[in-house]
Amino acid sequence: MSFHLFSSNHVIDIPKGKKTNEVFDPFTYEPKCVYVPITDNNRQYLDKVLRINDVVKKGKVIGREKVTNFPYYSPISGRIKEIVEMPFSDFTFRECYKIENDYLSEWDLESELTNPDSYSRGDIYNFIKNSGIVERDSNFKPIYKLFEPEFNIHTLIINAIEYNPYLGVENLFTANNIDYIYYVIPFLKRLSGINRFIICINPSQKVLESKIIASKKSYNDISFEIKKVDDAYPSFNSRNLVRNFSKERYNLVPQEIGYSVISLFSLEMLGRFLFEGKRPDLFCYDLVGEVKNPTFVIAPFGILASNIVNIIGQGTTYNEDNLLYLESDPISGLPHSNLNYILFPSSKGIIVTNKYKKKVYSCINCGRCIDVCPSDLIPVKIYKCSKKNSIKKLEKLDINKCSGCGNCSYVCPSNLELTSTCVNAKLKLKD
């Protein structure tokens, strides 16, 4: 199946049938330096707590967001060398601390939490905020936002689904760290009163399933359900996942109807922070597609994407005229013509893919785009109104609910640019 890429004029091929790698044999990459931004996601400067030439250890906070106090930290130990402007995968440039690795791997540890009953809800919430952990399945959303006190969350869905045709190794990485979730569940029960924990995997994830079942036997007092949920197109976003458990609809976040969704990796890293005081240092990045040896790389965030491809992707014939580099996943990941951008905690990997000119056909009114839209929109209608610039009609189509998930484009047999049209129409109406 082929589909055009969001925000681009290119089409790529998606192979039929997902290749799930059941053998985890990663390459570990220790970089000479990492780049950590000194501005937040809104380009506001952090309250810096360190300066040039300061020595840092792993997990050391380098600055905090001014309004929320959310920390940014170093994933390696070393020295802050200089401030440089670096490109990011969303095509922006941000000022960063360049931190040179001393290869000592020394940790700056936060104090761990022990008995959940000895902390107030506020203590636990602030502790989660201070972890600096961002949701892996998002574009830099700190996980404390999943547990805002104003919501009455009763169910936590732990997303461990391999959700796109290329990437999926993270689940093998997380399978090795599964015990951390047993530490964190009692704290989340205390924090939000959550009484149902559901780990969602898909039926093909045999390794992960067996590791979860094996580990469960050692923790009889902590209960959670394992649910097998079929893959729903390449983009398995929160809305699709919640649909498996609730018929209720929500507007912006599932917390509105008592659900919260967190990735297995983020939850495990929170467990590790609770009991070892360590912020996440290593992440699993996939290098797949048109490379000689598709592989997985364990590396800190803050490295250039080219670091991974140059070292691991030896043997690949890179031809910048024919290849695209997709950050993270093929549906919502942004296509890059080169690898000069920083990998962040939310980056899942790099897909190297051939590009070719798209062939677009007329809409055949098959209705597939409507069936797959998790926001219950009518993408084909939005597309047609948008092309005719019928603003009044667009205003009636609930377009602000579009999450840009890419499902509609993925299934459209006519290769119509549904996702980018919907997202652009949404932005247009906001102006």
Residues within the interface to ligand SF4 (CB under 6 A): 363-369, 372-375, 377, 379-380, 383, 402-408, 411-414, 416, 418-419, 422
What are the E-state strand segments in 318-419?
Answer: 323-327, 335-336, 349-354, 356-357
Nearer to ligand SF4, 326 or 377 (CB): 377
Nearer to ligand SF4, 43 or 359 (CB): 359
Pure H helices in 204-263: 206-216, 238-243
CB of 365 vs ligand SF4, minimal distance in Å? 5
Q: Which tokens sit at 362?
A: 């007329």
Dihedral sign (CA 382, 385, 386, 387):
positive
CB of 94 vs ligand SF4, minimal distance in Å? 27
**Under a CB-based contact definition with an 8 Å cutoff, are residues 229 and 202 in contact?**
yes
- 147: which DSSP letter? G
Residues in the chain, how many?
Answer: 431
Nearer to ligand SF4, 272 or 368 (CB): 368
Partners of residue 85 on adjacent β-strands: 95
CB of 24 vs ligand SF4, minimal distance in Å? 31
CB of 286 vs ligand SF4, minimal distance in Å? 23
The CB density around residue 261, as the number of other CB atoms within 10 Å, is: 24
CB of 5 vs ligand SF4, minimal distance in Å? 13
The CB density around residue 193, as the number of other CB atoms within 10 Å, is: 11
Nearer to ligand SF4, 149 or 413 (CB): 413
CB of 235 vs ligand SF4, minimal distance in Å? 7
296/166 Cα distance (integer angstroms)? 12
Task: Identify residue 78 by its one-letter amino acid code.
Answer: G
Task: Identify residue 419 by its one-letter amino acid code.
Answer: T
Give how far Cα 41 sits from Cα of 37, 61, 65, Å.
9, 17, 9
Partners of residue 39 on adjacent β-strands: 45
The CB density around residue 54, as the number of other CB atoms within 10 Å, is: 14
Helix (H) or strand (E) holding 430: helix 418-430
Task: Identify residue 315 by its one-letter amino acid code.
Answer: G
CB of 133 vs ligand SF4, minimal distance in Å? 26
Nearer to ligand SF4, 240 or 295 (CB): 240
Nearer to ligand SF4, 84 or 364 (CB): 364
CB of 348 vs ligand SF4, minimal distance in Å? 19
Q: Which tokens sit at 227?
A: 């649910």
Nearer to ligand SF4, 83 or 363 (CB): 363
Nearer to ligand SF4, 270 or 423 (CB): 423
